C-alpha cells in the first residue's frame, strides 16, 4: 500500500505537467487555426557549434494552406518563399535563386508550418513538456526572455531504427499568456541551433496572392535542388 501511495504521489504531478503541456499546445494551435493570414517582424539567430553563427531580421508572412514568405532586410536582402509546391531561396546580390519541392526540402522552418495549417504539434512532437526553474536548464535560451511567457519543449518521436537520424533534437516554443508564439528555438544534431523571435503579430489582414509566388528577375540563374542531389550521387 505504501508503494502504491508513493507511486500516486509521484505520478500525479507528472501527469498534471503533461496535461498542462498538452493544454498549452492546444491553445497555440487554436489561436492560429483562426488565422488565414499572418504577418510578423522576426529576428533570426543561427549558431553552428564552434563554427560561429549569424543574426538576421526582417518580415515574415504566412498564408493557408502551406505558404510563407520571409523577407530578410538586415544585414542583407534575401527572400525565402514557399508557395505550397515549391521552395524558393533568392539572394539578389548573388543573382542566383535555388528551387526545390516542398516534399524534398527539409528546412529548419518546418516547425513553423503549424502557422500555415500544414502540421500539428502532436504530429511533430513525440513528447511535450513545460520547462520551468524546477526542471532545470542547460542553456540560457531554455528560459523565456519575457518572464510572463512559458516554454513548451517538444521532443521528436522515437524511432526503433538506429540508422534513422532525427531531424531535430528538441524544439522550444516560447508562448505568451495570449497563446502567441514569441520565440521558437530549433536544436539539431551537431550542436546546431536556430532561434526565431517574433513581434508585432498581425492576423487575417488581406495579402495579395502574388507575394507567395516567386518570379525570377531577368538574368538570375536558377539552381534546382534535385539536380544538385543527383550530382552528389
What domain count does the chain have? 1
Q: Is residue 204 part of a domain?
A: yes
- Does residue 198 fall inside a structural domain? yes
Domain assignment of residue 29, yes or no: yes
The 3-class secondary structure across 110-167, one letter per residue, is: HHHHHHHCCCCHHHHCCEEEEECCCCCCCCHHHCCCCCCCEEEEEECCCCCCCCCCCC
Quote the pLDDT of residue 232. Answer: 38
Please provide residue 136's backbone torsions phi and psi, each rounded to the nearest 5 degrees.
85, 155
**Residue 208 Cα to chain centre, angstroms:** 24
pLDDT at res. 200 = 95
Domain of residue 64 covers 12-232
- Give the max Cα distance, the chain: 78
Task: Please give the distance of CA 63 from its chain centroid, rounded to a whole number.
Answer: 15
User: Measured on CA atoms in the order 39, 188, 86, 117, is the torsion positive or negative?
Assistant: negative
CA distances from 160 to 100, 165, 170, 202 (A): 30, 11, 18, 42
Could you tell me if residue 1 is inside a domain? Answer: no
Residue 108 phi/psi, 5-degree rounding, is -70, -5
The reply to whether 86 falls in a domain is yes
| pLDDT tens, the chain, 233 aa long | 655 444 444 455 556 667 888 899 999 989 988 899 999 999 999 988 776 789 999 999 999 888 999 999 999 999 999 998 889 999 999 999 999 887 645 554 566 877 877 667 888 888 999 987 555 556 777 889 899 999 999 998 887 655 445 678 899 999 999 999 999 999 988 888 999 999 999 999 999 999 999 999 999 999 987 654 444 33
What pLDDT, on the 0 to 100 scale, is given for residue 7?
43
Residue labelled with grid coordinates 502557422: 115
Residue 144 domain flag: yes
Q: Is residue 113 part of a domain?
A: yes
Closest-CA residue to 182 (of 69, 66, 28): 28
For 171, residues 6+ apart whose C-beta sits below 8 A from its C-beta are 111, 124, 125, 153, 154, 184, 185, 186, 187
Residue 229 has a pLDDT of 44
Would you say 86 and 102 are in contact if contact means Cβ atoms under 8 Å apart?
Answer: yes
CATH number assigned to the domain comprising residue 137: 2.50.20.10
What are the angstrom distances between the C-alpha of 203 and each of 35, 42, 206, 233? 6, 15, 9, 44
Residue 175 lies in a domain: yes
Amino acid at each position: 500500500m505504501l508503494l502504491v501511495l508513493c507511486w500516486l504521489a509521484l505520478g500525479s504531478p507528472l501527469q498534471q505537467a503533461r496535461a498542462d503541456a498538452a493544454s498549452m499546445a492546444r491553445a497555440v494551435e487554436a489561436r492560429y487555426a483562426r488565422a488565414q493570414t499572418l504577418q510578423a517582424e522576426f529576428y533570426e539567430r543561427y549558431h553552428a557549434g564552434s563554427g560561429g553563427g549569424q543574426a538576421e531580421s526582417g518580415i515574415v508572412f504566412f498564408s493557408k494552406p502551406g505558404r510563407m514568405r520571409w523577407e530578410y532586410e538586415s544585414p542583407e536582402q534575401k527572400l525565402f518563399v514557399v508557395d505550397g509546391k515549391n521552395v524558393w531561396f533568392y539572394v539578389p546580390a548573388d543573382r542566383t535563386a535555388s528551387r526545390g519541392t516542398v516534399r524534398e526540402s527539409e528546412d529548419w522552418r518546418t516547425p513553423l508550418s503549424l502557422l500555415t495549417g500544414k502540421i500539428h504539434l502532436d504530429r511533430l512532437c513525440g513528447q511535450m513538456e513545460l520547462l520551468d526553474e524546477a526542471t532545470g536548464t542547460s542553456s540560457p535560451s531554455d528560459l523565456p526572455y519575457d518572464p510572463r511567457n512559458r516554454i513548451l519543449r517538444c521532443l521528436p518521436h522515437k524511432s526503433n531504427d538506429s540508422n534513422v537520424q532525427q531531424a531535430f533534437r528538441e524544439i522550444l516554443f516560447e508562448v505568451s499568456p495570449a497563446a502567441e508564439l514569441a520565440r521558437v528555438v530549433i536544436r539539431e544534431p551537431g550542436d546546431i541551433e536556430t532561434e526565431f523571435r517574433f513581434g508585432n503579430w498581425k492576423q487575417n489582414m488581406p495579402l495579395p496572392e502574388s507575394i507567395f509566388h516567386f518570379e525570377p528577375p531577368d538574368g538570375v540563374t536558377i539552381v534546382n535542388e534535385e539536380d544538385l542531389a543527383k550530382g552528389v550521387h
